[in-house]
Amino acid sequence: MQNDALPLDGITVVDLSTLLPGPLASLMLAEAGARVIKVERPGGEDMRHFPPKLGSCSAPFAVLNAGKECITLDLKQEPDRDRLAALIAQADIVIEQFRPGVMARLGLDPAALTESHPGLIYCAVTGYGQDGPRSAEAGHDLNYQALTGLLSLSPGTPEAPTVPPSLTADIAGGAMPAVINILLALRRRDLTGRGCRIDIAMADAMFTFAWLALAQGHAHVAGAVGAGGEAQDHGFSGSRDTMLTGASPRYQLYPTADDAFLAVGALEQKFWDAFCDAIALPASLRKDGADPQATRFAVHGIIRSRDAAHWRALLEPRDCCCTIVRSLAEARADPHFVARGLFDVAAQMPEADTDHTIPIATLPIAPGLRRAKDLPRRVMRPGEANGEP
């Protein structure tokens, strides 16, 4: 049931960010009731020009920015900087994605802004943070995963290196931490009346995703030292040597006869037993800790012998954590996700494109804490601001 009052009713966000991390963060805040004023340079931010397009509007831009006001400011010009300063003076939250020092060079130093406006919550999202030897470096998602060692946990092979399909650093290292910390800062402001500056470094959060490998690595190194041996770094070597990155037959992708994949996540013994029973794995191979490679090879051969439809019908009803890998189109049509309404919230294209709509980015916000799904969320053109969208 939709609540009459939303958590962020009355909150104003000035969003200076571009592309994915900041815009996704401000979209979540908008869905929770905040008014988001998106500030773009003349001609619009880069994402407006990303293909594909629906009518004249970029589809990637639309799914991230529907329901926000869009204004155009040239921050190289003093009158526009003054206008931005006036907007910030009335705002609760600022989100920006410039390299460290850029706002100060524009005469909008974050320290000065929070000093002048004690209740302001100022969130800067960057690759490597506001300080440290790499703070001025450029980077993208792949670079942050590579530098932090996360990519080493599943890099593929030299012949077929793996490019991660998900933008983990942008979303889970940028947008999500920004929202979490902004909400925490709002709560503390409720208690103290004071805002703060928030430094979100996308690279930092990549170590969160390596938590298991880090724990195992520390244990290996500590064990070597405790046994009187020389401490080695082998515990942090990464590549396919942990339970969740390819070492275990219980947590694997197995190809089917028709070149689909079966995702097996049968970690617990009861699931593993059910899976082994279903595929008739020989008893000598079920104790997979004895020779994981032999067990994995045998399972591979069995799964490869039949097509995906066979394994879907046999395994998915058995509740043994086995799933055929779906395409995005298949996943979107799955009755479960349809029933949960994940794609019900639509963006309306700009005025000339009213025959086009597209679902906005799927957000992890409970229905009762966000705007009603049938509330119009229009995508505005650059410089188009006409009050609360």
Q: pLDDT per position in the chain (389 positions), as tens?
A: 455 799 999 999 999 999 999 999 999 999 999 999 999 999 999 999 999 998 889 999 999 999 999 999 999 999 999 999 999 999 999 999 999 999 999 999 999 999 999 999 999 999 999 999 999 999 999 999 999 999 988 888 888 898 999 999 999 999 999 999 999 999 999 999 999 999 999 999 999 999 988 888 888 777 665 554 454 554 555 555 678 888 899 999 999 999 999 999 999 999 999 999 999 999 999 999 899 999 999 999 999 999 999 999 999 999 999 999 999 999 999 999 999 999 999 999 886 666 788 999 999 999 999 999 999 899 998 888 654 33
| Rounded Cα distance, 80 and 71, in Å | 11
**79-88: long-range contacts (C-beta < 8 A, 24 or more apart)?**
81/106, 81/107, 81/108, 84/14, 84/39, 84/108, 85/113, 87/14, 87/37, 87/39, 88/14, 88/113, 88/117, 88/120
Strand-strand pairing, 57-58 and 53-54: antiparallel
| Rounded Cα distance, 379 and 389, in Å | 9
Give the per-residue pLDDT at 15.
98
Active site residue 4: no
| Rounded Cα distance, 163 and 202, in Å | 18
Say which of 80, 141, 170, 288 is annotated catalytic.
170
Nearest in space to 45 (alpha carbons), one of 279, 383, 389, 274: 383
